[in-house]
Amino acid sequence: MMITDLVAPEAILPALKVISKKQALQELALRASALTGQNERAVFEVLLQREKLGTTAVGYGVAIPHGKLPKLDRLFGMFARLDRPIDFEAMDGQPVDLVFLLLAPEGAGADHLKALARIARLLRDQDVAKKLRASRDAQAIYSVLALPPATAA
């Protein structure tokens, strides 16, 4: 599975301006609802519920908020590079500036988990993260995300 199977060029936010984890989730829910046709409040609630189970910040300045929605028909990804790092309650204490939202249909099962693992592997790669942080526009970010796993590093 390629990351580009999950995220379209229009689902990339190169400089999202937020000041808190809650605001980040609200902005992502707003933009995801526009691209998926899902209810904004439902998207926000599913992300909030998941965060209550434990932070989706995976360390190294990366967070992967995710959730499942009953009316979604396919996996949906959205990537945001934050204008300024924010506290996401990460285990390593690092503020987050790279966020990959993943929404899945309720019955996605293993596909959802495979996608999460693939995203985590890619974004924890320090060379990839450095390239994403250096990219200033959506096309540049999409190009980094589109690299095959071996050359992305």
- The predicted pLDDT at position 2 comes to 84
Mean pLDDT within 12-27: 97
Active site residue 112: no
- DSSP structure string for the chain: --GGGTEEEEEEEEEE--SSHHHHHHHHHHHHHHHH---HHHHHHHHHHHHHHS--EEETTEE--EEEETT--S-EEEEEEEEEEE----TT-PPEEEEEEEEEETT-THHHHHHHHHHHHHHH-HHHHHHHHH--SHHHHHHHHHS-HHHH-
Q: Report the predicted TM-score, pTM, of the whole model to 2 decimal places.
A: 0.94
> What is the count of structural domains for the chain?
1
- Tens of pLDDT, residue by residue over 81-109, are 999 999 999 999 999 999 999 999 998 88
pLDDT at 152 over 90: no
CATH code where residue 114 lies: 3.40.930.10
Instruction: Judge whether residue 151 has pLDDT over 70.
Output: no
pLDDT category at 153 given cuts 50, 70, 90 is very low
Of the chain, the percentage scoring pLDDT greater than 90 comes to 89
Catalytic choice (16, 24, 32, 66): 66
Expressed as residue numbers, the domain containing 79 is 3-152
